[in-house]
């Protein structure tokens, strides 16, 4: 598995480093440096990401992460027990014909017409798309709270756990305990002055202590309540949390069980959590982090080694995460989404399936998509398209004998590329990109 991903990630970065010399699009992206925030540092033994990539523009970083997500999804297919995940982005949507290669500015070409699994938990591709949406919504909410003159606190509730605990059991207890935090007479008292809350569940695993399931909650206050007052509410919430856990055979400690942090202006809070999750697979969850391995780090290890222990853990995670909500908002009078002028919340499935725009360019006919899928060439075609445009894409397809036709209706702005000229233009791009890819 690894022999596929690492060269791909490296070469895409290299491709873009060359392209940056002449491409206006790449220059546009270069305004925002990647800052070395790529998610693949931790597992890119070649060192290419740490060396060559630092200084490469954001467009290349986007491409890298996209390639990594595709690679991990493809690696997951043979081992996953979730049918929808195995078929995510492999099958086409029923009734829509062939998949279509789309172009969009800023190095964001993509494929349309593919079925998506919509899982925020187990799918490397869908989870990224969902997290990006949630991050932008949370950022909007946080801005609205500030405009309303309020303040926010980020409270983390944890549970004591050990290796013998089953993930489903810990998760059930955590869900029940959070429900208990936000209900009852004491909560009615505590929530006076609260605009609302949002909570997210995070799961990690350590070899030593097993599954770690915890809740991050954003508490939004309508006025600048002192931090001590907020911490007091959080501590009372922890009391309910702990009592509920005990009913489920778990417990927590006040020292480790609850942590409250004021979200200061410019702080990222929960939106930052989702922002990171949207951008990277591993950044905040590197393998040696104290919080343990993220599920995607687990999946990567499992698919690289086929080690029985990791595979078993991944399967347990697949089963236990099924049907659970990752992000929950307070509702009714504490509707933070309404405060921010956001519409009704879309389901994870709807967000994952959403059309992200771009211009239909090339229809991938016949066996082209199955071949791309089987050979795991999807990110390579996207990279070629980003760098060289539609002309490069069709030349790339032609070189591999993969049938295609212009997508109809062809909605691309500007003159439609004439195949011969476009291919000539693409030749230069291809000459180095294919040597690298
Ligand atoms: Zn998916």
Please give the Cα distance from 130 to 227 (Å, whole number): 32
Residue 162's Cβ-side half-sphere holds a number of Cα atoms within 13 Å equal to 4
The pLDDT, as a whole number, for residue 266 is 65
The residues whose Cβ lies within 5 A of ligand 1, an ion, are 88, 116-117, 123, 126
Confidence of residue 49 (pLDDT cuts 50, 70, 90): very low
Answer yes or no: are the C-beta atoms of 195 and 334 closer than 8 Å.
Answer: yes
Determine whether 398 is exposed, middle or buried from the number of CB atoms within 10 Å of its CB (0-12, 13-18, 19+). Answer: middle
- Measured in Å, residue 215 CA sits from the centre of ligand 1 at 24
Please give the Cα distance from 395 to 397 (Å, whole number): 5
Backbone φ and ψ of 173, nearest 5°:
-65, -40
- Measured in Å, residue 120 CA sits from the centre of ligand 1 at 8
- Measured in Å, residue 124 CA sits from the centre of ligand 1 at 7
- Measured in Å, residue 273 CA sits from the centre of ligand 1 at 20
Confidence of residue 126 (pLDDT cuts 50, 70, 90): very high
- Measured in Å, residue 411 CA sits from the centre of ligand 1 at 27
Q: What rounded mean pLDDT belongs to the chain?
A: 78
Determine whether 404 is exposed, middle or buried from the number of CB atoms within 10 Å of its CB (0-12, 13-18, 19+). Answer: buried
- Measured in Å, residue 121 CA sits from the centre of ligand 1 at 9
4 or 324, higher pLDDT: 324
In the numeric block, which tokens belong to residue 104? Answer: 């969009």
Stretch among 38-47, 73-82, 124-133 having the lowest mean pLDDT: 38-47
The pLDDT, as a whole number, for residue 47 is 34
In the numeric block, which tokens belong to residue 374? Answer: 């089987």
Q: Where are the beta strands (DSSP E) in 285-358?
A: 327-329
Nearest alpha-carbon partner for 321 in 301, 299, 300, 345: 299
For residues 170-199, average pLDDT: 94
The pLDDT, as a whole number, for residue 107 is 67
- Measured in Å, residue 129 CA sits from the centre of ligand 1 at 9
- Measured in Å, residue 115 CA sits from the centre of ligand 1 at 8
Q: At what angle do helices 124-147 and 295-305 cross, to 10 degrees?
A: 170
- Measured in Å, residue 406 CA sits from the centre of ligand 1 at 27
Confidence of residue 101 (pLDDT cuts 50, 70, 90): very high
Element (H, E) at 311: helix 308-321
pLDDT tens digits for 366-383? 999 999 999 999 999 999
- Measured in Å, residue 67 CA sits from the centre of ligand 1 at 14
Which residues, including other chains, have CB under 8 Å from residue 343's CB and lie 6 or more apart? 337
- Measured in Å, residue 89 CA sits from the centre of ligand 1 at 7
Answer yes or no: are the C-beta atoms of 263 and 142 closer than 8 Å.
Answer: yes
- Measured in Å, residue 352 CA sits from the centre of ligand 1 at 7
- Measured in Å, residue 118 CA sits from the centre of ligand 1 at 5
| Matching residue, tokens 């236990």 | 320
- Measured in Å, residue 170 CA sits from the centre of ligand 1 at 25
- Measured in Å, residue 378 CA sits from the centre of ligand 1 at 15
The pLDDT, as a whole number, for residue 421 is 46
**57-66, 105-114, 119-128 — which one is most confidently predicted on average?**
119-128
The pLDDT, as a whole number, for residue 226 is 95
- Measured in Å, residue 137 CA sits from the centre of ligand 1 at 21
* Collapsed DSSP state (helix, strand, coil) of residue 362: strand
- Measured in Å, residue 349 CA sits from the centre of ligand 1 at 9
Confidence of residue 56 (pLDDT cuts 50, 70, 90): low
For residues 235-243, average pLDDT: 94
- Measured in Å, residue 408 CA sits from the centre of ligand 1 at 26
Residue 262's Cβ-side half-sphere holds a number of Cα atoms within 13 Å equal to 14
Q: Where are the beta strands (DSSP E) in 273-351?
A: 327-329
- Measured in Å, residue 223 CA sits from the centre of ligand 1 at 40
pLDDT tens digits for 19-31? 333 333 333 333 3
| Residue 148 Cα distances to 197, 223, 282, angstroms | 15, 8, 35
385 or 280, higher pLDDT: 385
326 or 410, higher pLDDT: 326
In the beta sheet, which residues pair with residue 33?
57
Pairing, β 327-329 against β 194-206: antiparallel
Which residues, including other chains, have CB under 8 Å from residue 275's CB and lie 6 or more apart? 131, 132, 135, 139, 268
- Measured in Å, residue 428 CA sits from the centre of ligand 1 at 35
Q: Calculate Rg over the CA atoms of the chain.
A: 23
Nearest alpha-carbon partner for 317 in 125, 166, 159: 166
The gap from C-alpha 77 to its chain's centroid, in whole angstroms, comes to 18
pLDDT tens digits for 153-172? 989 999 988 888 999 999 99
- Measured in Å, residue 72 CA sits from the centre of ligand 1 at 11
- Measured in Å, residue 184 CA sits from the centre of ligand 1 at 38
pTM of the model: 0.77
- Measured in Å, residue 434 CA sits from the centre of ligand 1 at 28
- Measured in Å, residue 199 CA sits from the centre of ligand 1 at 23
Answer yes or no: are the C-beta atoms of 139 and 125 closer than 8 Å.
Answer: no
DSSP string, 11-64: HHHHHHHHHTTT-HHHHHHHTSB-TT--TTGGG-TT-HIIIIIBTBBHHHHHHH
- Measured in Å, residue 126 CA sits from the centre of ligand 1 at 4
Angle at 68 between CA 84 and CA 358, to 5 degrees: 75
* Collapsed DSSP state (helix, strand, coil) of residue 255: helix
Please give the Cα distance from 50 to 52 (Å, whole number): 6
The pLDDT, as a whole number, for residue 43 is 35
Confidence of residue 276 (pLDDT cuts 50, 70, 90): low
Please give the Cα distance from 283 to 334 (Å, whole number): 32
432 or 407, higher pLDDT: 407
- The alpha-helical segments, DSSP class H, found in 182-262 are 185-190, 227-247, 254-257
The pLDDT, as a whole number, for residue 409 is 56
Nearest alpha-carbon partner for 8 in 84, 75, 85, 106: 75
- Measured in Å, residue 357 CA sits from the centre of ligand 1 at 18
């Amino acid at each position: 598995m690894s022999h596929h991903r690492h060269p791909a990630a490296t070469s895409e970065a290299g491709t873009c480093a060359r392209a940056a010399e002449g491409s206006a699009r790449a220059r546009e992206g270069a305004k925002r440096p990647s800052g070395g925030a790529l998610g693949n540092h931790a597992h890119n033994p070649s060192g290419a990401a740490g060396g060559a990539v630092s200084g490469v523009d954001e467009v290349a970083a986007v491409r890298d992460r996209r390639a990594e997500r595709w690679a991990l999804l493809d690696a997951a297919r043979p081992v996953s027990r979730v049918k929808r995940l195995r078929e995510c982005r492999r099958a086409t949507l029923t009734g829509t014909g062939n998949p279509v290669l789309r172009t969009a500015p800023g190095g964001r070409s993509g494929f349309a017409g593919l079925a998506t699994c919509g899982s925020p938990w187990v799918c490397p591709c869908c989870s990224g798309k969902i997290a990006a949406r949630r991050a932008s919504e949370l950022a909007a909410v946080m801005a609205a709270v500030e405009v309303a003159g309020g303040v926010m606190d980020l409270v983390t509730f944890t549970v004591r756990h050990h290796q013998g605990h089953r993930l489903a059991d810990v998760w059930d207890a955590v869900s029940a305990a959070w429900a208990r935090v936000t209900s009852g007479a004491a909560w009615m008292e505590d929530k006076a002055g609260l605009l609302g809350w949002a909570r997210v569940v995070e799961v990690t695993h350590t070899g030593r202590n097993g599954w770690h399931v915890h809740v991050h909650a954003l508490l939004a206050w309508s006025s600048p309540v002192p931090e001590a007052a907020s911490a007091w509410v959080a501590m009372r919430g922890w009391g309910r949390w702990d009592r509920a856990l005990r009913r489920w055979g778990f417990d927590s400690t006040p020292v480790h069980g609850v942590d409250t942090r004021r979200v200061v202006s410019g702080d990222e809070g929960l939106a930052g959590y989702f922002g990171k999750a949207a951008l990277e697979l591993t950044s905040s969850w590197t393998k040696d982090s104290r919080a343990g391995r993220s599920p995607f780090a687990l999946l990567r290890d499992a698919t690289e080694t086929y080690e029985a222990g990791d595979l078993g853990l991944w399967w347990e995670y697949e089963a236990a995460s099924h049907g659970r909500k990752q992000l929950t908002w307070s509702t009714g009078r504490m509707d933070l989404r309404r405060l921010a002028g956001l519409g009704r919340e879309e389901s994870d499935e709807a967000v994952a399936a959403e059309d992200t725009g771009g211009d239909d360019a090339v229809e991938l006919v016949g066996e082209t998509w199955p071949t791309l899928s089987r050979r795991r060439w999807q990110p390579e075609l996207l990279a070629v398209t980003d760098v060289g445009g539609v002309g490069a894409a069709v030349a790339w397809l032609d070189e591999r004998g993969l049938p295609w036709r212009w997508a109809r209706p062809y909605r691309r702005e500007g003159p439609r590329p004439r195949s011969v000229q476009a291919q000539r233009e693409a030749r230069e791009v291809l000459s180095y990109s294919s040597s690298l890819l």
